[in-house]
């Protein structure tokens, strides 16, 4: 080869290398995913090669995570099942293959991290060929085994959980992703705000990237909403296939005829009927447009209304889901958060005692109205009195406050407890003349009377289940724990099978249910209300019931401001009474399996509300206190020093 030819060949090679380098630099995350990513049945309904065109909304989101993009922070407030998690896994594949820098994935808990690793990350490590090759045979196996660290040439991937701050305290990375942001603890260790903590991990790299993704929770309390609003708030605008006008897809414009099992979309501009089969084409032509273009941080909103056909719920699926839950605020919240990707508007701060008091129905304190088929009691322990709420249960999630009683007296003395025992065991006659027993009771064992509560619960004279209970400080996903805590032990340390134990109550969960329904009852017909109140409850009762309000910042219920809200026993005892009905051995409204049993209340109604008997309802308040102390109340209970907290 001549010298000239050698030179030119070298030049060509150099040019090619520099071109390769340049194109390598310019590779975007979506290009990488289209070239390399393979989906398996483990993580996706659709298997085979990743195609960004299949879910085109994700293209801009992924590409703003590319190394050459000037975007530093990407926030995605989303519904579940819209592919954002897969897009974030594509980013990790891109980083391992292409952008060799340290990267961290932060999940809300170590458990969430482990699940995500197995379901989402491991398929990338084993089934996407170039990643498997990079990690090499044995290393790839190690990588799927290791929970915390994955080494790759030029970089390292840390996997951490928000409940374990030590696992990432000192790490510095260029790329960081936080999934499920709203499930993180509000304060992480001493570092505080999870978002600030993430920012501090990447600050050593000026050209860092942060990805925050989550379904939102409660408006004002949601971290992802806060970050979304701090960004430029992009929505995906799609063109109507008929008139061509661009618009954001909104839930209010999804229409349905459930009889015909059809759902469609009505064009906002000209009322054109858009059928679901138009959707994929509309998505391909869609563009992200910021609401607040002057903000530099990127933030995106995605709702499941945009889910590509076959990759998420259809409009009809969403309608079916909505129709199932729209009357139930707790489930409706899940729909708004997880399907529409929007924060839930909490209503509790708008509740007022006199508005609830006005709902008092056509039955009196201490009497059982038609429809009420079971009773539970919640008891609060103070130094000088016991407070009791008797809660009624019936079909369709309906509840009645049946009684509200204070037994006054020194709670270190047995007399007060004897009265409580008498009260809890006395049957009450319902409006059909049938006797009803209280099904179960829960007594607050925190406070100053732990020993007395234990002694009372362990009395052998009880003929109904009575549980010692305590509010659990951490948020629980249920009303009452499935197993007891602090169980009694034998002298040799063996757990006693039928010994004393304390049942944790998911107080936040219970209060969500109570307050959400008190709020939703405002718009319900009286016969549909979830919480019903008798004639004759004192104003103080309603003040106490509303003694707390949800604090979006603290993410929990806090005392309402004002002296009238000082007494919180009406709320606490309602929580205990509602929770104990869901104890695993009580399970009101449910079958043996613990699942809702539609025949449960029908069977009870046959016994307690016999056909042919006219119910006798007493609309007049029952006299409560006579001669200042001993009282005969409604002719059914006699309690020495006790009084109803009545008018
Ligand atoms: Zn149109």
What's the gap in Å between 274 CA and the centre of ligand 1? Answer: 8
The burial class, CB within 10 Å (0-12 / 13-18 / 19+), for 199 is middle
Question: Average per-residue pLDDT in the chain?
Answer: 86
Q: For residues 77 and 449, what is the distance between their CA atoms, to the nearest angstrom?
A: 47
Give the containing element (helix H, strand E) for 306. Answer: none
Q: pLDDT tens for residues 464-479?
A: 999 999 998 777 788 9
Cα–Cα distance for residue pair 337/346, rounded to 1 Å: 12
The pLDDT, as a whole number, for residue 20 is: 47
- pLDDT category at 524 given cuts 50, 70, 90 is confident
pLDDT at 351 over 60: yes
Residue 320 Cα to ligand 1 midpoint, Å, equals: 25
Question: Ligand 1 centre from 549 Cα, in Å?
Answer: 44
CA distance 520 to 516: 6
- Which residues line ion ligand 1, judged by CB < 5 Å? 240, 242-243, 267, 270, 272
Label residue 158 by pLDDT band (50, 70, 90).
Answer: very high
Q: How far is the CA of 254 from the centre of ligand 1 (A)?
A: 14
Q: Phi, psi (5° rounding) for residue 513? A: -65, -45
Confidence (pLDDT) at 493? 75
Question: CB-based contacts of 418: which residues, under 8 Å, 6+ apart?
Answer: none
pLDDT digits (tens, 9 = 90+) for 286-337: 999 999 999 989 999 999 999 999 999 999 999 999 999 887 777 888 899 9
pLDDT at residue 328, rounded to an integer: 79
- Distance, CA 272 to ligand 1 centroid (Å)? 4
Signed CA dihedral, 199, 204, 206, 211: sign only: negative
279 CA distance to ligand 1 middle (Å) = 13
pLDDT of 592 higher than 50: yes
244 CA to centre of ligand 1 in angstroms:
6
- Distance (angstroms) between ligand 1 centre and the Cα of 338 equals 28
Q: Ligand 1 mean position to 249 CA, how many Å?
A: 12
Taking the chain, what is the end-to-end CA distance rounded to the nearest angstrom?
Answer: 110
Ligand 1 mean position, distance from CA 246 (Å)? 8
pLDDT tens digits, 431-487? 999 999 999 999 999 888 999 999 999 999 999 999 999 998 777 788 999 888 887
| Segment 64-84 mean pLDDT | 94
CA of 145 to the centre of ligand 1 (A): 52
Given this model, what pLDDT does residue 175 score?
97
Q: Find residue 76's DSSP bridge partners.
A: 213, 300
- pLDDT, tens digit, for every residue of 92-142? 999 999 998 999 999 988 889 999 999 999 999 988 999 988 887 656 666
Residue spans of alpha helices (H) in 65-135? 84-97, 110-116, 122-127, 129-135
Q: Which residues pair with residue 495 across a beta bridge?
A: 489
């Amino acid at each position: 080869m001549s010298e000239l030819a050698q030179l030119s060949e070298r030049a060509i090679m150099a040019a090619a290398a520099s071109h390769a380098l340049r194109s390598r630099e310019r590779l975007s995350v979506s290009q990488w995913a289209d070239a390399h990513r393979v989906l398996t049945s483990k993580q996706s309904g659709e298997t085979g090669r990743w195609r960004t065109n299949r879910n085109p909304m994700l293209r801009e989101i992924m590409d703003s995570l590319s190394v050459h993009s000037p975007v530093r922070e990407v926030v995605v407030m989303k519904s579940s099942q819209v592919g954002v998690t897969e897009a974030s896994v594509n980013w990790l594949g891109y980083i391992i293959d292409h952008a060799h820098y340290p990267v961290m994935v932060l999940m809300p808990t170590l458990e969430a991290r482990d699940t995500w690793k197995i379901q989402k990350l491991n398929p990338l490590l084993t089934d996407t060929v170039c990643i498997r090759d990079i990690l090499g045979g044995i290393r790839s196996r190690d990588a799927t085994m290791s929970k915390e660290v994955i080494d790759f040439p030029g970089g390292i991937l840390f996997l951490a959980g928000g409940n374990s701050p030590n696992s990432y305290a000192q790490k510095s990375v260029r790329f960081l992703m936080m999934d499920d942001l709203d499930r993180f603890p509000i304060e992480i260790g001493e570092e505080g705000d999870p978002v600030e903590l993430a920012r501090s991990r990447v600050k050593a790299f000026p050209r860092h990237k942060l990805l925050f993704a989550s379904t939102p929770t409660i408006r004002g309390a949601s971290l992802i909403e806060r970050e979304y609003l701090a960004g430029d708030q992009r929505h995906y605008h799609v063109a109507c296939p008929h008139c061509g006008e661009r618009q954001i897809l909104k839930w209010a414009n999804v229409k349905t005829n459930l009889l015909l099992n059809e759902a469609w979309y009505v064009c906002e501009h000209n009322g054109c009927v858009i059928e679901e089969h138009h959707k994929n084409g509309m998505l391909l032509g869609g563009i992200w447009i910021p609401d607040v273009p002057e903000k530099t941080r990127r933030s995106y909103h995605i709702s499941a209304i945009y889910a590509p056909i076959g990759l998420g719920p259809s409009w009809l699926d969403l309608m079916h889901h909505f129709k199932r839950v729209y009357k139930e605020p707790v489930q409706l919240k899940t729909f708004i958060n997880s399907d529409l990707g929007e924060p839930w508007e909490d209503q509790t701060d708008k509740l007022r005692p006199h508005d609830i008091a006005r709902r008092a129905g056509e039955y009196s304190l201490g009497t059982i109205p038609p429809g009420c088929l079971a009773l539970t009691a919640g008891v609060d322990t103070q130094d000088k009195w016991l407070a009791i709420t008797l809660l009624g249960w019936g079909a369709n999630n309906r509840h009645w406050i049946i009684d509200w009683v204070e037994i006054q007296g020194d709670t270190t003395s047995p007399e007060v407890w004897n009265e409580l025992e008498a009260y809890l065991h006395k049957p009450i006659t319902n409006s059909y003349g049938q006797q009803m027993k209280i099904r179960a009771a829960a007594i607050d064992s925190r406070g100053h009377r732990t020993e007395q509560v234990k002694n009372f619960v362990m009395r052998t004279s009880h003929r109904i289940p009575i549980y010692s209970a305590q509010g659990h400080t951490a948020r629980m996903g249920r009303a009452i724990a499935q197993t007891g805590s602090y169980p009694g032990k034998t002298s040799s340390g063996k757990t006693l099978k039928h010994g004393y134990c304390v049942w944790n109550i998911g107080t936040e969960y219970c209060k969500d249910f109570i307050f959400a329904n008190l709020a939703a009852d405002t718009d319900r017909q009286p016969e549909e209300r979830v919480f019903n109140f008798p004639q004759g409850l004192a104003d103080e009762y309603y003040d106490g019931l509303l003694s707390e309000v949800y604090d979006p910042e603290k993410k929990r219920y806090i005392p309402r401001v004002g002296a009238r809200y000082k007494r919180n026993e009406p709320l606490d005892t309602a929580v205990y009474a509602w929770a104990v009905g869901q104890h695993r051995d009580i399970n009101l409204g449910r079958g043996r399996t613990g699942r809702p049993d539609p025949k449960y209340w029908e069977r009870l109604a046959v016994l307690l509300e016999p056909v042919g008997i006219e119910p006798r309802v007493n609309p007049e308040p029952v006299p409560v206190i006579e001669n200042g102390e001993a009282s005969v109340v409604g002719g059914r209970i006699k309690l020495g020093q006790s009084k109803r907290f009545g008018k």
